[in-house]
Structure 1
Amino acid sequence: MRSLSHAQVRIEGWRAAVTPAPHYTQKRRDARNSLAFCRMLARLALRSLHQELVLYPKPGLVSPVDNGSHEDMDAGTFMRSLFSLRHYFFQIAQAGTQGAPFRRLQELAIAAEARMLRATGGVNTHRGAIFALGMLCAAGAWCHARKMPLTDAAIRAALLIRWGDALARHTRVGPSPEAQSHGQRVAAAHAVGGAREEGALGFPSVFEVALPRLRQTLAQGRGWREAKVDALFALMGHISDTNVYHRGGAGGAELVRARSAAFLAAGGTADAHWQERALACHRLFSQRRLSPGGAADLLAAACLVQQICAVMAA
């Protein structure tokens, strides 16, 4: 057996000292992979919000074409809001990777909302989206960290398994009447569910209404724009949108549901004249000052889940 010189012994000892142990190397690799995944989630969240913003026609809602029912905001307001959220989705994804308690996710969302309001001069552009897309980013990151498949079913299950109890308590307790948002006051006054109830139930409107409609339209050979329009109308016809109740009361909410159901009953974007019918709906909602902002937030959430699943399946 060959003996080593003193110099060789020193070299071999140095190599052993500086060469990372296999488990340490794997931990570093996993950490880099986790950071990259959280950055990707943040990019997809911002992209989903932008895809909702640029969609047109979009009844009563702000787009680059017009301001819909709104006098206090335009597409530029939404772009400033989007820019203010660029770090939030990465931060909440990182927190989700760690399985952070709901209180930590809530703190990140509250800080993001404050940045949004500073960026928009006090205009609420993305409060609902901060909550919905933030929780979905956290759930997706939680799945990824545990090497679970990134499917819509897995993301929803993760949301309910890790944070479902806290979300349910958050829905029951809520803030004092003085601290409630417009949506929370409207939900209480009209006995309808809002964003909190959606979250506590694992966003059923995203996973059971919007996503199936998105995928149905895509499977029928129509494009991403048409899929978003069909999903938006499906959401408007399904949810009790507190934004609509706030502006139009129960009568306005019934009008939104009825017109949305009629659009889909006529074939949605499969009908040759769908753009004219969607534009007519947009003009009517804008004249009545009806703004289904809750449906818009949930559409962006559905776009996020669809794109996460598509990227991971590629």
Structure 2
Amino acid sequence: MTALATPALRFDVLAARWALGALHAELLLYPKPGLVSLIDNGSHTDMNAATFMRSLFSLRHYFAAISRAGAAAAPFSVLRQLGQHAELRMLAATGGINTHRGAIFSLGLLCAAFGRLRAAHAGSAVSSIDAAALRGALTSWRAELAAHVNAAPPGATSHGVLVARRHHAGGAREEGARGLPMVFEVGLPALRRTLAAGASMQAARIDALFALMATIGDTNVLHRGGADGAQLVRSTARAFIDAGGSAAPDWRARALAAHRLFVGRRLSPGGAADLLAATCLVQAMTSGAAP
């Protein structure tokens, strides 16, 4: 648990720094199968680490603004508008490349929930937050989020929307409506188990990423590789976990082999990467990590 506010930083600035730090941590992680890192571009020819850094910079005010909106008990329509504006800024910064659309949605919701909790504890000298309280705060927008799942117009053409329809996959919208279960029930427990075993944060993030890849229906993977590609990602991730994950002596070689395999098939589990960033954000919010 961690203090909801510190004397040095306003809650909205704190939330924004944690969110940007979580996205930066995801970018820095390696080996990260099929995904962009500082080492290489993974399965992508249209983006690199510099693209992600421009995107990150464009979002620096968004996470603070949506945290303030959460504190003001704003309806989901306001949160959605903030997210839409953030997406436009992201696309302008990247030349039209979608680097963080899913993260804008999931991390934005978490920052709004954090703001909601901060407002609920206004006036308290020291208040605490845990993962259950943070997830509970997401239910403030449950009904509106549920409606948002089916809100895309028939002509919507984003990859996530089209793939979700074709493969009956939920995507970021459904994940948000359900209170981010993959973050709180898969990613966060995996990360904390590894930390509890005395391993490094890098190892914990690797294990969280592979746990997410083994579990979710990733619309990014479905778009690029169809059902067969999605099954390959899940089975490869499950094999890594079954072999001991980051605790295995050869974990790095196994992760690199998965990276080469995914690059060869042009598979990029971007949905898992977004949820890893959300997991990192929840860990920071609930552990007192320095922003």
Q: Give me the TM-score of the superposition, normalised by structure 2.
A: 0.94
Percentage of pairs with the same residue: 60
- The answer on whether the counterparts of 1:34 and 1:145 sit within 8 Å (CA) in structure 2 is no
Return the offset for 1:35: 7.1
Q: Distance in 1 between matches of 2:213 and 2:285?
A: 24
- The answer on whether the counterparts of 1:242 and 1:294 sit within 8 Å (CA) in structure 2 is yes
Equivalent residue for 2:233, pick from 249, 253, 256: 256
Name which structure has the greater RCO, CA cutoff 8 Å, separation 6+: 2
Q: Which residue of 2 aligns with 1:168?
A: 146
Q: Which residue of 2 aligns with 1:12?
A: none
2:173 maps to 1:159:
no
2:256 maps to 1:279:
yes
Measured against aligned partners, the alpha-carbon deviations of 1:247-302 in whole angstroms (never above 9, x if no partner) come to 00000000000000000000000000000000000000001000000000000000
Question: Structure 2: which amino acid aligns with 1:115?
Answer: R
- The answer on whether the counterparts of 1:67 and 1:74 sit within 8 Å (CA) in structure 2 is yes
2:17 maps to 1:37:
no
Q: Distance in 2 between matches of 1:301 and 1:222?
A: 20
2:50 maps to 1:68:
no
2:237 maps to 1:224:
no
Return the offset for 1:229: 0.3
Measured against aligned partners, the alpha-carbon deviations of 1:92-151 in whole angstroms (never above 9, x if no partner) come to 000011010000000000000000000000000000000000000000110111116311
SS at match of 1:68: coil
2:274 maps to 1:300:
no
Return the offset for 1:312: 8.0
* Greater radius of gyration (CA): 1
- The answer on whether the counterparts of 2:59 and 2:90 sit within 8 Å (CA) in structure 1 is yes
Q: Give me the TM-score of the superposition, normalised by structure 1.
A: 0.87
Distance change >3 Å, CA 179–CA 130, structure 1 → 2: same
Q: Distance in 1 between matches of 2:211 and 2:64?
A: 30
Q: Distance in 2 between matches of 1:34 and 1:108?
A: 26
Question: Structure 2: which amino acid aligns with 1:103?
Answer: S
- The answer on whether the counterparts of 2:156 and 2:162 sit within 8 Å (CA) in structure 1 is no
Distance change >3 Å, CA 138–CA 35, structure 1 → 2: farther
**How many residue pairs end up in the alignment?**
281
Q: Which residue of 2 aligns with 1:115?
A: 89
Question: Structure 1: which amino acid aligns with 2:199?
Answer: R
Q: Which has the higher helix share?
A: 1
Distance change >3 Å, CA 312–CA 124, structure 1 → 2: closer
Range with bigger deviation, 261-270 or 187-196: 187-196
Q: Which residue of 2 aligns with 1:245?
A: 222
Distance change >3 Å, CA 139–CA 92, structure 1 → 2: same
SS at match of 2:129: coil
Q: Distance in 1 between matches of 2:131 and 2:170?
A: 22
Range with bigger deviation, 37-46 or 144-153: 144-153
Give me the CA root mean square deviation: 1.6
Q: Distance in 2 between matches of 1:227 and 1:309?
A: 16
Q: Which residue of 2 aligns with 1:15?
A: none
Q: Distance in 2 between matches of 1:142 and 1:121?
A: 34
Question: Structure 2: which amino acid aligns with 1:126?
Answer: H
Q: Distance in 2 between matches of 1:239 and 1:149?
A: 30
- The answer on whether the counterparts of 1:177 and 1:185 sit within 8 Å (CA) in structure 2 is no
Equivalent residue for 1:213, pick from 190, 198, 210: 190
Question: Structure 2: which amino acid aligns with 1:45?
Answer: A
